[in-house]
Amino acid sequence: MATADANAETDWSPSRLAFVWVVFRKQLVLLVRYPLNTATRFLTLAALFGIIFFGGQAVAGPTITDSLGGIIVGLFIWTLAIVAFSQLAWDVTREAQWGTLERLFLSPHGFGTVMVTKTVVNVLMSFLWAFALLVVMMAVSGEWLSVDPLTVLPLGVLTVASISGVGFLFAGLALLYKRIENVFQLVQWAFVALIAAPVGANPLLKLLPVSHGSYLLRRAMDDGVRLWEFAPSELAILVATSVAYLFAGYYCLYRAQRRARQNGVLGQY
């Protein structure tokens, strides 16, 4: 049995690839089937930038342009963060509401694989959302940043990895406590502080999730620094913190689902 479970976790068979496609297609169907909700979600993010940009011009005048690049990059990273972080916990909450949560545990791929697959799909969706918003922000403001895929994508993936670790943690809390939507709102605004953290002035802040990745992405997109131009130690810290938060979050999810099963609260909502 243990061997079979291990094979189920590591064998990328046609069945596994079909499962990834099903999860991705489900996300697309939900976006298309509820167009008003999807459009409102995107317009809310665009309107937030509009308020900051046009409001800043009205209050501060031309001086807003000095920090415009940082504002655009910050909102780009914040979009990545909130989509990647909250989507997994929302998936668990919705599955519990729909009464289909226990079916995830019956998957032949295993519950852990289901959650990891959902996370990968959510990360992909977060990049689609964030890049769409990035184009809108640059077009509206006229501030065109350096978006080198060979730099932005690796840094973005590593940054989102630490966020996904936080998402795993809250998915575990959703398994146990079901409704934690109000906590989402607090954490989303906490990401603002992490993204804006003065990492350059205080190196200890590099150990926090999102902060170091946000700092490197700002340098890459606003200053045009390429991936290979960063100091190896900077990249090593980003990789280490991202992997640490990702595995710590997954372990918390694993412990939470075991506790939920032991307490018999998986099927309750």
Residue 185 CB burial class (10 angstroms; 0-12, 13-18, ≥19): exposed
Taking residue 76's Cβ as centre, other Cβ atoms within 10 Å add up to 27
* Cα(130)–Cα(217) distance, integer angstroms: 13
Q: Is residue 127 part of a domain?
A: yes
Structural domain including 198 reads 2-263
Q: Is residue 105 part of a domain?
A: yes
Does 269 fall in a domain? no
Instruction: Calculate mean pLDDT across residues 206-225.
Output: 89
Averaged pLDDT for residues 208-237: 90
Q: Is the model's pLDDT at 2 over the cut of 50?
A: no
Question: Does the pLDDT of residue 91 top 70, yes or no?
Answer: yes
Taken in order 8, 104, 40, 86, is the CA torsion positive or negative? negative
pLDDT confidence of residue 252 = 92
Long-range CB contacts for residues 211-215, cutoff 8 Å, separation at least 24:
212/237, 212/238, 212/241, 213/77, 213/155, 213/156, 213/158, 213/159, 213/160, 213/162, 213/238, 213/242, 214/73, 214/74, 214/77, 214/159
For residue 154, the model assigns a pLDDT of 92
pLDDT given at position 20: 81
Banded pLDDT at 9 (limits 50, 70, 90):
very low
Domain count, the chain: 1
pLDDT at residue 234 is higher than 90: yes
Cβ–Cβ under 8 Å, residues 202 and 117: no
Q: What is the mean pLDDT of the chain?
A: 82
In this model, does residue 3 exceed pLDDT 90?
A: no
pLDDT value of residue 116: 85
Give the C-alpha separation, 28 to 44, whole Å. Answer: 19
Number of C-beta neighbours around residue 102 at 10 A: 13
Task: State which amino acid sits at residue 111.
Answer: F
Please indicate, yes or no, if residue 268 is contained in any of the structural domains.
no
User: What are the tens digits of pLDDT across the range 97-114?
Assistant: 777 777 777 777 777 888
Q: Which pLDDT score, from 0 to 100, does residue 140 have?
A: 86
pLDDT tens digits for 115-164? 888 888 888 888 888 898 889 888 888 888 878 889 999 999 999 999 88
Judged against a pLDDT cut of 60, whether residue 21 lies above it is answered with yes
Three-state SS string over the chain comes to CHHHHHHHHHCCCHHHHHHHHHHHHHHHHHHHHCHHHHHHHHHHHHHHHHHHHHHHHHHHHHHHHHHHHHHHHHHHHHHHHHHHHHHHHHHHHHHHHHCCHHHHHCCCCCHHHHHHHHHHHHHHHHHHHHHHHHHHHHHHHCCCCCCCHHHHHHHHHHHHHHHHHHHHHHHHHHHHHCCCHHHHHHHHHHHHHHHCCCCCCCHHHHHCCCHHHHHHHHHHHHCCCCHHHCCHHHHHHHHHHHHHHHHHHHHHHHHHHHHHHHHCCCCCC
pLDDT of residue 251: 93
The pLDDT score that the predictor gives to residue 267 is 61
> What percent of the chain has a predicted confidence (pLDDT) above 90?
16
Judged by average pLDDT, the poorest of 107-111, 237-241, 255-259 is: 107-111
Of the ranges 56-60, 164-168, 220-224, 254-258, which one carries the lowest mean pLDDT score? 56-60
Q: What is the mean pLDDT of residues 53-66?
A: 65
pTM over 0.95: no
**How does pLDDT run across 33-44, given as a tens digit for each residue?**
888 888 888 888
Alpha-carbon span 197 to 177, nearest angstrom: 31
Residue 168 within a domain? yes
Angle at 101 between CA 98 and CA 103, to 5 degrees: 115
Does the structure show a pLDDT above 60 at 178?
A: yes
